């Protein structure tokens, strides 16, 4: 275990093994109710903002690659500003918000129900508006989160969304053996890694930071960029592998640091290894998280990822990213617990 949890963010990162364990224990018995709600419907729409949106990206990929269910990310402004009336009778709408009190998300869930959808809320606050107004609430068991950057609430959202996606799979129990190992994998990634300090220096000294992943790990890469931007007050950009290849890679040069995340298995590891080599050839320095031996070799610095199949790797791969971000922020003399200009519950512009 990391011997120096000196910030609230670090302490909450350290709480994640038990938070994930409690969440899985509480929510796995609800899989039959999720399946019942979905019965006769054809698609899942996910509603979220911020870190919750990155969790929803993972859910979309898991639903489509593991459960065989068509899924997409909804645009809340369609409901709150354009006030469109859609036929959602064939949809299960899943709204994700750690507080359950972001009015835009609550209003979008209400709109979805009025349009005929069945609704599931994923939130950390029992009794919140999002939870009480949904057909079913998947309440995560992270406990109170005091640091503004989401860590344990994000990881427990991923666990809840994994429960939801497996509930809709042809064999809901197919991943259960691996799910049972997730808390221990999270704990293992909290052990002090001697390579972390070098990775921190690489990112802290960079003029520009990008983060990239692909497929099931895309949400983790987007979360890495968001966390870096929130806490370090520097511009960081998150890209899918494909989007980075389609243009932005042309401006990568010396002075750029890239955080690349990959699973230990799956069809996309070779592509991420190729990307690491390409970025290095352009002068960038790379911090790789996870992947296989070839991926680690292609990166300037490498942090160990979880020993989990690609479908569940995001439930733990965020941990080394979180630790990297917390250390980089402290290295820059900033407070990761209270990033400038941010609040724990974010309300978007008025839609009344």
Q: For 119-148, what is each residue's pLDDT tens digit?
A: 999 999 999 999 999 999 999 999 999 999
Residue 341 DSSP one-character state: T
Q: Which CATH architecture has domain 193-331?
A: 3-Layer(aba) Sandwich (3.40)
Q: Nearest 5 degrees, angle CA 81-CA 87-CA 93?
A: 75
Q: What is the dihedral of CA 44, 321, 240, 301, to 10 degrees?
A: -150
Torsion angle defined by CA atoms of residues 310, 312, 325 and 215, in that order, rounded to the nearest 10 degrees: 40
What does the alpha-carbon distance between residue 102 and residue 81 come to, in Å, rounded to a whole number?
Answer: 15
Q: Say if strands 91-96 and 118-123 run parallel, antiparallel, or are unpaired.
A: parallel
Residue ranges, comma separated, of all CATH 3.40.50.10490 domains in the chain are 8-182, 193-331
Model confidence, pTM: 0.94
Closest Cα partner for 208 from 185, 183, 184, 225? 225
Average pLDDT across each block of 10 residues of the chain; the chain has 352 residues. List them in order: 72 98 98 97 97 98 98 96 97 98 97 98 98 98 95 98 98 98 98 94 93 97 96 90 77 84 97 94 94 98 98 98 97 90 56 45
Would you state the pLDDT for residue 1? 47
- Residue 43 DSSP SS3: strand
The CATH code of domain 8-182 reads 3.40.50.10490
Q: How far is CA 131 from the centre of its chain?
A: 20
* Four-residue CA torsion sign, 134, 92, 349, 152: positive
């Amino acid at each position: 275990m990391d011997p120096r949890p000196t910030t609230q963010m670090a302490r909450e990162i350290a709480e994640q093994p038990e938070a994930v364990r409690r969440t899985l224990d509480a929510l796995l018995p609800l899989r039959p109710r999720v399946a019942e709600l979905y019965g006769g419907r054809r698609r899942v729409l996910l509603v979220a903002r911020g870190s919750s949106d990155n969790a929803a990206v993972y859910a979309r990929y898991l639903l489509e690659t593991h459960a065989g269910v068509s899924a997409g990310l909804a645009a809340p402004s369609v409901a709150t500003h354009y006030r469109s009336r859609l036929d959602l009778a064939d949809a299960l709408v899943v709204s994700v918000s750690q507080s359950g009190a972001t009015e835009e998300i609550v209003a979008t869930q209400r709109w979805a129900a009025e349009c005929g959808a069945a609704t599931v809320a994923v939130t950390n606050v029992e009794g919140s508006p999002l939870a009480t107004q949904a057909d079913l609430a998947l309440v995560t068991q992270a406990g109170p989160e005091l640091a503004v950057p989401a860590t344990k609430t994000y990881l427990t959202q991923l666990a809840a969304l994994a429960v939801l996606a497996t509930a809709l799979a042809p064999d809901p129990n197919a991943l259960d053996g691996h799910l049972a190992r997730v808390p221990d994998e999270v704990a293992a990634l909290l052990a002090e890694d001697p390579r972390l300090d070098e990775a921190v220096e690489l990112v802290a000294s960079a003029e520009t930071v990008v983060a990239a992943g692909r497929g099931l790990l895309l949400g983790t890469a987007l979360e890495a960029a968001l966390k870096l931007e929130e806490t370090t007050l520097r511009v960081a950009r998150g890209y899918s592998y494909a989007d980075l290849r389609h243009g932005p890679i042309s401006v990568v040069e010396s002075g750029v640091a890239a955080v690349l995340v990959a699973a230990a298995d799956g069809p996309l590891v070779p592509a991420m290894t190729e990307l690491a080599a390409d970025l290095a050839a352009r002068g960038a320095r790379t911090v790789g998280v996870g992947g296989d031996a070839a991926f680690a070799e292609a990166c300037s610095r490498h942090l160990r990822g979880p020993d989990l199949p690609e479908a569940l790797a995001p439930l733990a791969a965020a941990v080394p990213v979180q630790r990297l971000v917390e250390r980089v922020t402290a290295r820059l003399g900033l407070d990761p617990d209270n990033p400038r200009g941010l609040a724990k519950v974010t309300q978007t512009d008025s839609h009344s």
